[in-house]
Amino acid sequence: MGDESINKIFAGKITSGVKLQTFQLAIINFVFEQLPNWRDDPDRSDVDSEPLLNPQLSNFLDCKARDNSPMFHFCHEEPQAINRTVDMAAKTTENMLIEAKLYTKYDPVLVFECKRLPAPEIKREKEYVSGKDPNKISGGIQRFKLGHHGAKHDLAAMIGYVQDESFNHWQDKINEWILELVKNPIGDSCNWNPTEILNMAKEDTSIGAVHYLSTHKRNGTVESEIEIHHLWVMMRN
Protein backbone atom coordinates (compact mmCIF):
# COMPACT_ATOMS: atom_id res chain seq x y z
CA MET A 1 0.00 0.00 0.00
CA GLY A 2 1.37 3.39 -0.98
CA ASP A 3 0.20 7.01 -1.04
CA GLU A 4 -3.36 6.01 -1.91
CA SER A 5 -3.64 3.92 1.25
CA ILE A 6 -2.20 6.73 3.37
CA ASN A 7 -4.74 9.13 1.87
CA LYS A 8 -7.54 6.71 2.74
CA ILE A 9 -6.26 6.55 6.32
CA PHE A 10 -6.47 10.33 6.55
CA ALA A 11 -9.97 10.19 5.08
CA GLY A 12 -11.04 7.55 7.60
CA LYS A 13 -12.00 4.92 5.02
CA ILE A 14 -10.01 1.84 6.12
CA THR A 15 -11.00 -0.56 8.91
CA SER A 16 -9.12 -3.66 7.73
CA GLY A 17 -6.42 -4.81 5.33
CA VAL A 18 -3.98 -1.97 6.01
CA LYS A 19 -0.33 -2.79 6.66
CA LEU A 20 0.90 -1.79 10.11
CA GLN A 21 3.88 0.16 8.77
CA THR A 22 1.66 2.05 6.33
CA PHE A 23 -0.58 3.13 9.20
CA GLN A 24 2.38 4.07 11.39
CA LEU A 25 3.99 6.12 8.63
CA ALA A 26 0.72 7.97 8.07
CA ILE A 27 0.77 8.95 11.75
CA ILE A 28 4.43 10.01 11.53
CA ASN A 29 3.72 12.16 8.46
CA PHE A 30 0.80 13.76 10.30
CA VAL A 31 2.91 14.56 13.37
CA PHE A 32 5.76 15.96 11.27
CA GLU A 33 3.36 18.31 9.49
CA GLN A 34 1.68 19.42 12.71
CA LEU A 35 4.78 20.08 14.83
CA PRO A 36 5.35 23.63 13.46
CA ASN A 37 1.62 24.40 13.75
CA TRP A 38 1.71 23.39 17.40
CA ARG A 39 4.83 25.46 18.05
CA ASP A 40 3.26 28.53 16.41
CA ASP A 41 -0.20 28.14 17.96
CA PRO A 42 -1.01 31.56 19.51
CA ASP A 43 -2.99 29.85 22.28
CA ARG A 44 0.00 27.76 23.38
CA SER A 45 1.77 28.80 26.58
CA ASP A 46 5.48 29.46 26.09
CA VAL A 47 7.00 26.73 28.27
CA ASP A 48 10.33 24.89 28.16
CA SER A 49 10.15 21.72 30.26
CA GLU A 50 9.19 18.27 28.96
CA PRO A 51 6.46 17.75 31.61
CA LEU A 52 4.71 20.83 30.21
CA LEU A 53 5.57 20.46 26.52
CA ASN A 54 4.51 16.82 26.22
CA PRO A 55 0.84 17.21 27.26
CA GLN A 56 0.63 20.39 25.18
CA LEU A 57 1.75 18.52 22.08
CA SER A 58 -0.43 15.50 22.76
CA ASN A 59 -3.54 17.63 23.26
CA PHE A 60 -2.85 19.64 20.11
CA LEU A 61 -2.29 16.54 17.96
CA ASP A 62 -5.41 14.88 19.34
CA CYS A 63 -7.54 17.92 18.47
CA LYS A 64 -6.09 18.17 14.96
CA ALA A 65 -6.51 14.44 14.35
CA ARG A 66 -10.24 14.66 15.07
CA ASP A 67 -10.64 17.07 12.16
CA ASN A 68 -8.00 15.82 9.73
CA SER A 69 -7.23 12.17 10.50
CA PRO A 70 -10.22 10.46 12.13
CA MET A 71 -8.61 7.01 12.05
CA PHE A 72 -6.29 7.70 15.00
CA HIS A 73 -6.05 9.73 18.19
CA PHE A 74 -3.31 10.66 20.66
CA CYS A 75 -2.89 10.28 24.40
CA HIS A 76 -0.32 11.68 26.80
CA GLU A 77 1.68 8.95 28.53
CA GLU A 78 1.15 5.22 27.99
CA PRO A 79 2.21 2.39 30.33
CA GLN A 80 5.08 0.27 29.05
CA ALA A 81 7.18 -2.59 30.41
CA ILE A 82 8.83 -2.65 33.85
CA ASN A 83 6.61 0.04 35.38
CA ARG A 84 7.65 2.57 32.76
CA THR A 85 5.60 5.10 30.81
CA VAL A 86 6.26 6.39 27.31
CA ASP A 87 5.58 10.10 26.71
CA MET A 88 2.88 9.80 24.05
CA ALA A 89 1.00 7.17 22.06
CA ALA A 90 -1.20 7.04 18.97
CA LYS A 91 -4.16 4.63 18.89
CA THR A 92 -7.00 3.78 16.53
CA THR A 93 -10.34 5.51 17.07
CA GLU A 94 -12.29 2.34 16.29
CA ASN A 95 -11.59 -1.37 16.04
CA MET A 96 -9.18 -2.01 13.18
CA LEU A 97 -7.76 -5.27 11.87
CA ILE A 98 -4.10 -4.68 11.04
CA GLU A 99 -2.09 -7.65 9.74
CA ALA A 100 -4.41 -10.16 11.45
CA LYS A 101 -4.22 -8.33 14.79
CA LEU A 102 -7.24 -6.50 16.17
CA TYR A 103 -6.42 -3.03 17.50
CA THR A 104 -8.96 -1.24 19.68
CA LYS A 105 -9.00 2.33 20.95
CA TYR A 106 -6.97 1.09 23.93
CA ASP A 107 -4.07 -0.43 21.96
CA PRO A 108 -1.08 1.75 20.98
CA VAL A 109 -0.20 1.56 17.30
CA LEU A 110 2.78 3.88 17.71
CA VAL A 111 4.65 5.18 20.76
CA PHE A 112 6.70 8.36 21.16
CA GLU A 113 9.54 9.40 23.44
CA CYS A 114 10.14 13.16 23.73
CA LYS A 115 13.41 14.92 24.58
CA ARG A 116 14.69 18.48 24.83
CA LEU A 117 17.80 19.47 22.89
CA PRO A 118 19.85 20.49 24.77
CA ALA A 119 19.01 18.53 27.90
CA PRO A 120 18.12 20.71 30.92
CA GLU A 121 21.30 19.79 32.84
CA ILE A 122 24.87 19.19 31.66
CA LYS A 123 25.02 15.88 33.56
CA ARG A 124 22.07 14.71 31.44
CA GLU A 125 23.37 16.08 28.13
CA LYS A 126 23.48 12.71 26.34
CA GLU A 127 20.06 11.47 27.46
CA TYR A 128 18.59 11.68 23.97
CA VAL A 129 20.78 8.63 23.34
CA SER A 130 21.68 7.12 26.71
CA GLY A 131 22.10 7.88 30.38
CA LYS A 132 25.44 7.48 32.15
CA ASP A 133 24.34 5.21 35.00
CA PRO A 134 23.75 1.56 33.99
CA ASN A 135 21.36 1.23 36.94
CA LYS A 136 19.24 4.20 35.85
CA ILE A 137 17.95 3.78 32.30
CA SER A 138 17.21 7.39 31.31
CA GLY A 139 18.21 7.57 27.63
CA GLY A 140 15.65 7.85 24.84
CA ILE A 141 17.18 5.48 22.28
CA GLN A 142 18.57 3.38 25.14
CA ARG A 143 15.05 2.65 26.45
CA PHE A 144 13.94 1.43 23.03
CA LYS A 145 17.03 -0.74 22.62
CA LEU A 146 16.49 -2.41 25.99
CA GLY A 147 12.77 -2.95 25.37
CA HIS A 148 11.72 -0.68 28.24
CA HIS A 149 9.79 1.31 25.66
CA GLY A 150 8.19 -0.04 22.49
CA ALA A 151 8.83 -3.71 23.23
CA LYS A 152 5.71 -4.67 21.25
CA HIS A 153 6.64 -2.48 18.28
CA ASP A 154 9.22 -2.68 15.49
CA LEU A 155 8.78 1.01 14.65
CA ALA A 156 8.66 3.96 17.05
CA ALA A 157 9.22 7.72 17.07
CA MET A 158 11.09 10.32 19.07
CA ILE A 159 10.19 14.01 19.27
CA GLY A 160 13.06 16.46 19.64
CA TYR A 161 12.31 19.93 21.03
CA VAL A 162 15.28 21.87 19.67
CA GLN A 163 15.66 24.87 21.97
CA ASP A 164 19.20 25.91 21.03
CA GLU A 165 21.74 25.30 18.24
CA SER A 166 20.91 23.88 14.79
CA PHE A 167 19.53 20.57 13.53
CA ASN A 168 22.92 19.72 12.04
CA HIS A 169 24.61 20.41 15.36
CA TRP A 170 22.38 17.93 17.19
CA GLN A 171 22.57 15.28 14.48
CA ASP A 172 26.38 15.46 14.70
CA LYS A 173 26.34 15.39 18.51
CA ILE A 174 23.95 12.45 18.76
CA ASN A 175 25.88 10.46 16.18
CA GLU A 176 29.09 11.26 18.07
CA TRP A 177 27.55 9.95 21.31
CA ILE A 178 26.38 6.77 19.59
CA LEU A 179 29.88 6.13 18.22
CA GLU A 180 31.34 6.75 21.69
CA LEU A 181 29.03 4.03 23.05
CA VAL A 182 30.23 1.63 20.34
CA LYS A 183 33.73 1.91 21.81
CA ASN A 184 32.81 2.44 25.45
CA PRO A 185 29.43 0.95 26.48
CA ILE A 186 28.21 1.93 29.95
CA GLY A 187 27.46 -1.62 31.12
CA ASP A 188 23.68 -1.56 30.74
CA SER A 189 23.73 -4.59 28.33
CA CYS A 190 23.21 -2.34 25.29
CA ASN A 191 25.34 -3.30 22.30
CA TRP A 192 25.83 -0.33 19.98
CA ASN A 193 26.80 -0.41 16.32
CA PRO A 194 28.10 2.35 14.00
CA THR A 195 25.14 1.69 11.68
CA GLU A 196 22.78 3.03 14.36
CA ILE A 197 23.55 6.69 13.69
CA LEU A 198 20.81 9.10 12.58
CA ASN A 199 20.38 9.68 8.84
CA MET A 200 18.37 12.39 7.13
CA ALA A 201 14.92 11.40 5.90
CA LYS A 202 13.26 14.78 5.31
CA GLU A 203 14.03 18.41 6.08
CA ASP A 204 11.87 21.51 5.72
CA THR A 205 13.84 24.54 6.86
CA SER A 206 10.97 26.86 5.89
CA ILE A 207 8.89 25.52 8.79
CA GLY A 208 11.74 24.57 11.10
CA ALA A 209 11.26 20.81 11.15
CA VAL A 210 13.41 17.82 10.28
CA HIS A 211 12.93 14.05 10.11
CA TYR A 212 15.81 11.64 10.76
CA LEU A 213 15.79 7.86 10.70
CA SER A 214 17.78 5.24 12.61
CA THR A 215 17.63 1.46 13.03
CA HIS A 216 18.74 -0.34 16.18
CA LYS A 217 19.39 -3.85 17.36
CA ARG A 218 17.68 -4.59 20.65
CA ASN A 219 18.99 -6.42 23.68
CA GLY A 220 17.34 -8.61 26.28
CA THR A 221 14.06 -10.38 25.59
CA VAL A 222 13.23 -8.45 22.38
CA GLU A 223 15.06 -9.92 19.40
CA SER A 224 13.74 -7.82 16.51
CA GLU A 225 15.30 -4.56 15.34
CA ILE A 226 13.47 -1.31 15.92
CA GLU A 227 13.24 1.55 13.41
CA ILE A 228 13.08 4.97 15.08
CA HIS A 229 11.78 8.07 13.32
CA HIS A 230 13.21 11.24 14.87
CA LEU A 231 10.90 14.23 14.39
CA TRP A 232 12.49 17.49 15.50
CA VAL A 233 11.00 20.97 15.66
CA MET A 234 12.94 24.21 16.08
CA MET A 235 11.25 25.81 19.08
CA ARG A 236 12.78 29.26 18.52
CA ASN A 237 11.75 29.47 14.85
Please provide the DSSP assignment of the chain as one string: --HHHHHHHHHT--SEEE-HHHHHHHHHHHHHHHHHHHHT-TTS----SHHHHHHHHHHHHHHHHHHH-TTEEEEEEEE-STT-EEEEEEEESS-EEETTEEE-TTSEEEEEEEEEES-SSGGGTTTTT--S-TTS---HHHHHHTTSS-TT-SEEEEEEEE-SS-HHHHHHHHHHHHHHHHHS--SSS----GGGS-EEEEEETTTTEEEEEEEE---TT--S-EEEEEEEEETT-
Is pLDDT of 3 > 50?
Answer: no
User: Do you know the residue count of the chain?
Assistant: 237
pLDDT for 83 equals 84
Is pLDDT of 184 > 60?
Answer: yes
Greater confidence (7 vs 128) lies with 128
Is pLDDT of 227 > 60?
Answer: yes
* pLDDT, mean of residues 210-231: 95
pLDDT digits (tens, 9 = 90+) for 31-59: 999 999 999 999 999 999 999 999 999 99
Is pLDDT of 236 > 90?
Answer: no
pLDDT for 98 equals 93
